[in-house]
Amino acid sequence: MLWLCITLPQLPLEALQCEQGERPTLVTVLEGNVRSVVCCNPAAGRIGLQPAMNFTTALAILPEVIAMERRLTAEQAALERLATWAYQFSGTVILGELFADLQRARTTALWLEIGASLRLFGGFRKLIEQLEAELGKLSYSYQLGIAPTLEGAALLARTGVRVAITTAAALRARIENISVHWLNLDPWITQQLQSVGVRTVGLLLALPRDGVAKRFGPEVCNYLDRLTGAAPDPRPTYRLPPKYHARFEFDAEIHSTEALLFPLRRMLREFVGFLRARDTGVQKFTLRFVHRDTVATVIHVGLSMPDRSSERFLTLARERLEHTELPSASVALELSAETFAMPTGLNVDMLSGATEHGEELGHTLDRIVARLGENQVHGVKAVAEHRPEHSWTTAAAEDRRPPLDFPDRPLWLLPEPKPLQLSGMPALTGAERIESGWWDGGDVRRDYFIARTQQGAALWIFKDLRDGSWHLHGFWS
Amino acid sequence: MSASRAETLEQLARLCRNGREGPPPRVEPSGSASLDAVLPGGGWQSGTIVELMPVSDGIGELRLLMPALAKITQSERHVAMIAPPYIPFAPALLRHGLRLEHFWIIRAQSAADILWSAEQTLRCKSFGAVLAWPSAIRDREVRRLQLAAEAGSSIGFVYRPPSAAHESSPAAVRLRLQADAVGQLNVDIVKCRGARAGMSLAVGGLESAGRQRLTANT
């Protein structure tokens, strides 16, 4: 087993917003009766605000700083979305625990077993490159660590040591000089260790086990065993859900469509990660914009063929969003998809021109449907029916087999027959009687003719035999 | 810039592009020998915008294109009608040889949506021809469609009211359509690259069975 650990030191902040704002922003948490800073954005860091600082001090430095309350549900949702995304790189993903306490708020992690994926991705460097390229697009701050044990990889990630360590012996050698305060132990214990002079991991590992267990409790020894690989570290792996459902809670209400695109983009990229992990695509997904007071706005995004391109998803979603009036500001965004299908472009010969054409057609029609609405783009087909208005119907692409032979018909049909006031009887030709429909109440008894106007136009008109009225029904254009 | 100068520049630009870009434009015969004789390239040429200005509905304004549209759909390319004034009647389309699985109706409403849809479809290589009925169109927009048609190697047919014949337009081919009392379709060349404007052609050989029956019965 070889574990890649991704730690997310800024998750408390980044789970709530994904653009790096220009205004100093921080996340705080109340412990006992002291409010402290959990993490802050770069703008806040530049003016001297930092994690673990007392919030009162932070306010003294910058009274107008934007402060958000830490929200564990948002962090859990973000971590789960990331785990789903990470599945594309590994079949074994483990979610780290979220710690409510201030000291461990910035240690949230997830692990990927990469030993089995190395060959698939063409080696170590390629896997990491690809993973970092994708991870970078999601706009999370992260640190990576690679080691044969879960805790070892996490420790390396937290300390920012960018070395891949593949054996237990190398790991032990590498962590000897690391300060004990980086260890995933109760903060009270690390303080105790430092106060008695045990400052490095190496010194702690050299102490007699019994003594450590007696003084600090057996869990310290257990942890050290799992860290070094002396004891196994079984944990439940994250299971890929059969349906996709992701939620992004915003730090504040988002009013503008433009601003909604930031979380939307991140969510679509994570979604594509899920699709890659499942090795599939989608033809339909649903966005729910959650509002505080009113019912959520639901947008269904449909594609003419299965796809998994986050850019195309974004183009379509954006087009729909721009034509949707959101009743009020959004407090959260949800993305869900239930049915999946292999993207057609991926499972057939990529060099085939026909496929390329088909895909291009699909994308063009999708864009138009996204802008004009589902019912505004369609094909037509003929139906074996005597009544002209029932002898055609709108149709989807797959279903347009030509039916039986048809009598001669005009190219233009009016949506509804239009009553005609005839002044004198025009020259009529091409008489055809159409009688039908008594069985479904759409009773029709008509004599159709072709009438020529002075401008040379040929009209398709009929006399309704039930009341003798004349109607225009089409043009021989 | 005068219209003729703009045109010369456009032609020059086209010549420059021709040097670099590979395939020559495709040409679909119109089905009428006399019309093909005046059309640039000898038929409806891909990468061009054709303006059609019928004096009234029902004179053969659609029939004129049917041979080309049928061939395009039969060669696996698609045809779109954007904002048609009436329902394109499926039984008649079939009789004209159109393959309906390659035929699309896009019911855009606003002028902006109509032109946008036309541009999207023209630009898409899957479409061989796009017929559009814009409520209004300006020179700038015709040029945009022109570029889209070149990019997608498709033909753009833009239907306009007869009054538009008096205005200038950057479209490569502009035809005014009218019919005589017995329904013979006449094509007036308002503008045609390489042909004399002001010519008028009686277009035969495009009758649907309906018209033949009409003449037979008269």
- Do A219 and A268 belong to one domain? no
The answer on A251 and A218 residing in a single domain is: no
Residue of A411, A412, A413, A434 to mutate, testing the B interface (most B Cβ within 10 Å of its Cβ): A411
* Type of residue numbered A398: E
Of the candidates A371, A409, A458, the beta carbon closest to that of B183 is on A458
Cβ proximity of A286 and A272 under 8 Å: no
Q: Do B210 and A430 touch (CB under 8 A)?
A: yes
- Percent share of chain B, pLDDT over 90: 59
Judgement on whether residues A86 and A220 belong to the same structural domain of the protein: yes
Q: Provide the ipTM.
A: 0.77
Q: Does the CB of B202 have a partner CB in chain A at under 8 Å?
A: no
pLDDT (tens digit per residue) in B91-149? 999 989 999 989 999 999 999 999 999 999 999 999 999 999 998 999 999 999 999 99
- Inspect the interface and report whether the beta carbons of B179 and A415 lie closer than 8 Å: no
Q: How many CB pairs under 8 A join A and B?
A: 192
> Do residue A174 and residue A101 come from a single domain?
yes
Q: How many domains does chain A have?
A: 3
Residue A287 CA to its chain's centroid (Å): 9
Residue A355 included in any domain:
no
Give which of B53, B62, B89 to mutate to test A binding, by max A Cβ within 10 Å. Answer: B89
Asked whether residue A252 falls in the same domain as residue A222, the answer is no
Q: Which residue has the higher pLDDT, A185 or A351?
A: A185
pLDDT band of B218, cuts 50, 70, 90: very low
Q: Is A208 touching B (CB cutoff 8 A)?
A: no
Tell me whether residues A382 and B90 touch, CB distance under 8 A.
yes
Mean pLDDT of A300-324: 87
Q: What percentage of chain A has pLDDT greater than the value 90?
A: 44
Identify the domain boundary among A228, A254, A270.
A228
- The whole-number pLDDT of residue A306 equals 81
- At A411 the three-state DSSP class reads coil
Of the candidates B107, B120, B184, which has its C-beta nearest A376's C-beta?
Answer: B107
Inter-residue contact A319 to A341 (CB < 8 Å): no
* Residue A392, min C-alpha distance to chain B (Å): 6
* 8 Å CB contact of A364 and B105: no
> Mind listing the pLDDT tens digit for each residue in A456-466?
889 999 999 88
Residues A90 and A205 reside in one and the same domain: yes
The alpha carbon dihedral of A368, A370, A372, A376 has a sign of positive
Domains within chain B, CATH numbers bracketed: 25-217 (3.40.50.300)
Quickly count: other Cβ atoms within 10 Å of residue A309's Cβ.
16
Please tell me the distance from the alpha carbon of residue A122 to that of residue B208, in angstroms, as a whole number.
63
pLDDT of A353 strictly over 60: no
- For A477, which of B60, B76, B214 is closest by C-beta distance? B60
Q: Is the pLDDT of residue A351 over 60?
A: no
Q: What CA–CA distance (Å, rounded) separates A456 from B17?
A: 43
Work out the number of other CB atoms within 10 angstroms of the CB of residue B115: 25
Together in a domain, A224 and A275 = no
pLDDT attached to residue B217: 36
Q: What pLDDT is recorded for position A22?
A: 83
**Which residue in B86, B126, B211 is closest to A412 by CB distance?**
B86
Q: Do B58 and A408 touch (CB under 8 A)?
A: no
More confident residue, A344 or A384: A384
- Can you name the residues that pair with B87 across neighbouring β-strands? A413
Whether B104 and A453 lie within 8 Å, measured CB to CB: no
Last residue of a domain, one of A307, A329, A348: A348
More confident residue, B204 or B209: B204
Provide the pLDDT confidence category of residue B14 given band limits of 50, 70 and 90: low
Q: How confident is the model at residue A352 (pLDDT cuts 50, 70, 90)?
A: very low
The reply to whether A250 and A309 lie within a common domain is: yes
- The region that residue A48 occupies, defined by phi over 0 for left and psi between -120 and 50 for alpha, beta otherwise, is left
DSSP tag of A50: -
> Smallest Cβ distance to B58: which of A382, A454, A459?
A459
**Percent with pLDDT over 70 in chain A:** 93
Residues 6 or more apart whose Cβ sits within 8 Å of residue A409: A388, A391, A474, B89, B91, B92, B95, B210
Whether the predicted pLDDT of A355 surpasses 60: no
Residue B59: closest CA among chain A residues belongs to which residue?
Answer: A457
Distance from CA of B117 to the nearest CA of A (A): 6
Query: How far apart are the C-alpha atoms of A399 and A394, rounded to whole Å?
Result: 10
Q: Can you say whether residue A220 is alpha, beta or left, with left for phi > 0 and alpha for psi between -120 and 50 degrees?
A: alpha
| The last residue of a domain, from among A313, A332, A348 | A348
The conformation of residue A425, written as its DSSP 8-state character, comes to P
Contact B179 A457 (CB under 8 A): yes
Residue A27 lies in a domain: no
Per-residue confidence (pLDDT) for residue A400, from 0 to 100 = 64
Smallest CA–CA distance from A409 into chain B, residue: B92
What local confidence, expressed as pLDDT, does residue A6 receive? 96
Give the separation between CA A180 and CA A201, rounded to whole angstroms.
5
Interface of B with A in 67-86 (CB under 8 A): 76, 78, 84-86
pLDDT in tens, A321-348: 888 889 999 999 999 999 888 776 543 3
Residue A336 lies in a domain: yes
Residue A310 lies in a domain: yes
* pLDDT on residue A178: 92
User: Which phi and psi (to 5°) does residue B203 adopt?
Assistant: -100, 110
Query: Which tokens belong to A159?
Result: 């300390």
Mean pLDDT value across residues B43-60: 94
The more confident residue out of B6 and A323 is A323
A433: containing domain: 408-475
Residues A129 and A161 in one domain: yes
Task: Name every chain A residue with its beta carbon within 8 A of the beta carbon of B101.
Answer: 379, 397-398, 400
What's B96's DSSP letter? T
pLDDT score recorded for residue A268: 95
From its phi and psi, is residue A134 left (phi > 0), alpha (psi between -120 and 50) or beta?
A: alpha
pLDDT tens column, A256-287: 888 999 999 999 999 998 998 888 889 889 99
Would you tell me which residues 263-282 of chain A have a C-beta closer than 8 angstroms to some C-beta of chain B? none
Position A296 pLDDT exceeds 90:
yes
**How much is the pLDDT for A354?**
46
Query: Of B173 and A126, which is predicted with more confidence?
Result: B173
CATH of the domain at A7: 3.30.70.270
**pLDDT score of A439:** 65
Say whether A392 and B179 touch across the interface (CB within 8 A): no
Question: Are the Cβ atoms of B217 and A430 closer than 8 angstroms?
Answer: yes
**Among the ranges given (A129-138, A173-182, A215-224, A394-403), the one the predictor scored with the smallest mean pLDDT:** A394-403
Are A310 and A344 contained in the same domain?
yes
Residue A377 counted as domain residue: no
Window A:332-391, CB contacts with B under 8 Å: 354, 357-358, 360-361, 363-365, 367-368, 371-372, 375-383, 388, 391
Within-domain flag for A118: yes
Residues A289 and A215 in one domain: no
Cβ–Cβ < 8 Å for B25, B45: yes
Residue A313 in contact with residue A343, Cβ under 8 Å?
A: no
Show the tokens assigned to A208: 């007699």
Which residues fall within 8 angstroms of residue A389, CB to CB, at 6 or more apart?
A413, A417
Task: Test B62 with A354 for CB contact under 8 angstroms.
Answer: no
- When CB atoms are compared, the residue of A358, A380, A453 closest to B103 is A380
Contact yes or no for B162/B54 (Cβ under 8 A): yes
Q: What is the mean pLDDT of chain A?
A: 87
Give CA–CA dist B20/B6, Å, rounded: 22
For B214, which residue in chain A has the nearest alpha carbon?
A429
Check: CB of residue A317 under 8 Å from CB of residue A280.
no
In a domain, A265, yes or no: yes
Let me know whether A427 and A289 are in one domain: no
User: What is the helix (H) or strand (E) element at residue B159, kind and residue range?
Assistant: strand B155-159
Average pLDDT, rounded, for chain B: 84
pLDDT at A402 over 70: no
> What sign does the CA torsion over A380, A382, A385, A389 have?
positive
Contact A147, A156 (CB under 8 A): yes
- B94 vs A406: CB contact, 8 Å cut-off? yes
In the stretch 22-41 of chain A, residues with CB closer than 8 A to chain B read none
User: Between A422 and A96, where is the model more confident?
Assistant: A96
Of A92-101, A303-312, A341-350, minimum mean pLDDT range: A341-350
Residue A404 binned pLDDT confidence (cut-offs 50, 70, 90):
low
CA distance B137 to B171: 11
Spatial separation of the C-alpha atoms in residues A446 and A58, rounded to whole Å: 86
B176 - beta bridge partners? B53, B188
pLDDT in tens, A424-465: 667 788 888 888 766 666 788 899 999 988 888 899 999 998
DSSP string spanning A175-242? Answer: HTTSBGGGSSS-HHHHHHHHHTT--BHHHHHHS-HHHHHHHH-HHHHHHHHHHHTSS----PPPPPPS
- In which band, very low, low, confident or very high, does the pLDDT at B10 lie, cut at 50, 70 and 90? low
Which CATH number fits the domain that encloses residue A329?
3.30.1490.100
Q: Which of B99, B100, B186 to mutate to test the interface with A (most CBs of A within 10 A)?
A: B100
When pLDDT is averaged across residues A239-247 and rounded to a whole number, the result is 89
Annotate B23-35 with b (16+ C-beta within 10 A) or e (fewer): eebbbbebbbeeb
Q: Do A408 and B86 touch (CB under 8 A)?
A: no
Give domain status of residue A210, yes or no. Answer: yes
What is the pLDDT, as a whole number, of residue A34? 92
User: Taking phi first (over 0 means left), then psi (-120 to 50 degrees means alpha), and beta for anything else, what does residue A266 get?
Assistant: alpha
